[in-house]
C-alpha cells in the first residue's frame, strides 16, 4: 500500500516536470506519421510492426487502429482515443498515456514497463500476458485491470497480476 502511494507521487512529480519543462519530440519513422506531434484522425490505420519510437499523438482518434507488434517505446498518447485498438505484443515501455481512452483495446502480451498511464481509462481491456512492471496507473484502473489480469508476458516472462500489484 505504501509503495503504491510512492508510485503515484513519483508519477505526479514526473508529470509536473514534463509539463513545466517539455522536451523536444523526435519525429516518427513511420511513413504514415510525418511529424513529431500528430493531431489528426487516424482511426482504423494499420501501424502493425512499425517503429514509432518517440512519436507523440495529441487529441488523435486512433480507434480500432492496429499497433500489434509495433515498437512504441517512449510514445506519448495525450488525450487520444485508442478504443478497440490492437496493441497486442506492442512495446510501450517508457511511454506516456495521459487522459487516453483504451476502452476495449487489446493489450495482450504488451510490454508497458516504466510507462506513465495516469488518468487513462482501461475499461474492458484484454491485458492477458501484459507486463506493467514499474508502470504508474491510477489505483482505480489497477483494480479494474486486476479483475481479469492473467498470464505471463512472452518477452519478459513477467506475471501480469504481479506486475500490476494485484492481491
Q: Give tens-digit pLDDT for 63-111.
A: 999 999 999 999 999 999 999 999 999 999 999 999 999 999 999 999 9
For residue 13, give the H/E element and its range: helix 2-20
| Model confidence pTM above 0.85 | no
Q: What domains are there in the chain, each with its CATH number? A: 1-167 (2.160.20.80)
**Got the DSSP string for 36-71?**
SEE-SB-TT-B-TT-B-TT-EEES-B-TT-B-TT-B
Contact 26, 34 (CB under 8 A): no
At 41 the pLDDT is 72
How many angstroms separate the CA atoms of 83 and 80, rounded? 9
Q: Are 55 and 38 in contact (CB under 8 A)?
A: yes
Backbone angles phi, psi at 76, to 5 degrees: -115, 125
Amino acid at each position: 500500500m505504501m509503495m503504491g502511494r510512492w508510485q503515484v507521487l513519483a508519477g505526479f512529480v514526473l508529470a509536473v516536470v514534463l509539463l513545466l519543462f517539455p522536451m523536444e519530440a523526435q519525429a516518427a519513422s513511420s511513413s504514415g506519421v510525418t511529424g513529431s506531434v500528430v493531431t489528426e484522425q487516424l482511426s482504423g490505420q494499420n501501424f502493425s510492426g512499425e517503429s514509432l519510437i518517440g512519436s507523440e499523438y495529441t487529441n488523435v482518434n486512433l480507434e480500432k487502429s492496429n499497433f500489434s507488434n509495433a515498437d512504441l517505446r517512449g510514445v506519448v498518447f495525450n488525450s487520444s482515443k485508442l478504443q478497440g485498438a490492437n496493441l497486442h505484443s506492442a512495446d510501450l515501455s517508457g511511454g506516456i498515456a495521459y487522459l487516453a481512452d483504451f476502452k476495449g483495446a487489446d493489450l495482450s502480451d504488451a510490454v508497458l514497463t516504466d510507462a506513465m498511464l495516469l488518468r487513462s481509462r482501461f475499461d474492458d481491456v484484454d491485458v492477458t500476458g501484459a507486463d506493467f512492471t514499474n508502470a504508474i496507473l491510477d489505483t482505480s484502473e489497477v483494480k479494474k485491470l486486476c479483475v481479469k489480469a492473467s498470464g505471463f508476458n512472452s518477452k519478459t516472462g513477467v506475471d501480469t497480476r504481479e506486475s500490476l500489484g494485484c492481491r
